Amino acid sequence: MTQNLKTKYLSEIRPALQKELGLASIEAVPKLLKITVNTSSKDFKTDKDFLLKAKDWMAIITGQTPLETKSRSSIAAFNLREGEIVGLKVTLRGLRAYDFFEKLTSIVLPRLKDFQGVSIKTFDTKGNYTIGFSEQIVFPEVEYDKIGKIQGLEVTISTSAKDPADALKFLRALGMPFTKES
């Protein structure tokens, strides 16, 4: 029987990370708060069939139905009106977030062409990490014939780490394949 990532984190990774970071409390060790997957397209407002196909492949990738995001204001230069659908997003928490992270690091990232690891430069100041994909077909569940057209997506991994250095150690301990530092 395989051990899922959350169980491994609680039993092995968290105590080791507590010692490495020199933290007094086990609760101060960084943890995975949520993973947000989002995509957007200017064609969502005009092509409802494309919107339905995008909802379908996002639901297959994440295991949850995506939420439609709408524009907050009108922008004449972009031909955008307030309330039009501009994107889709899914927020994964708890066990689903750990399962998605495990799928991302063990299946999806190794499928990328000439993959040498992900950059350590896309952390924000709060310790969150963002990965952008130029096409959704890197996920094995997506069938090329049913997606409509190639579209990019963004995956944001939110951690409870206070700074990027702790978040880097945390994600590395979970198995994120970062590039070799020079």
pLDDT tens-digit map of 117-138: 888 888 888 889 999 888 888 8
What confidence score (pLDDT) does residue 181 get?
65
Q: Give the residue extent of every domain in the chain.
A: 5-15+31-174
| Full-model pTM | 0.87
Q: Which long-range contacts (CB under 8 A, 24 or more apart) does 5-9 make?
A: 5/98, 5/99, 5/101, 5/102, 5/174, 5/175, 6/94, 6/95, 6/98, 9/98, 9/174
Query: What is the distance of C-alpha 176 from the center of its chain?
Result: 12
User: What does 60-118 look like in DSSP terms, one character per residue?
Assistant: HHHSSPPEEEE-SS-BGGGTB-TT-EEEEEEEEETHHHHHHHHHIIIIIGGGSTT---B
At residue 151, does pLDDT exceed 90? Answer: no
Model pLDDT for residues 47-74, shown as the tens digit of each residue? 888 888 888 889 989 999 999 887 777 7
* Mean of all residue pLDDT scores within the chain: 85
How sure is the predictor about 108, in pLDDT bands with cuts at 50, 70 and 90?
confident
How many other C-beta atoms lie within 10 A of the C-beta of residue 49? 9
Closest by CA to 158, choosing from 101, 86, 84, is 101
CATH node for 5-15+31-174: 3.30.1440.10
Instruction: Locate 37 and state its tokens.
Output: 């997957």
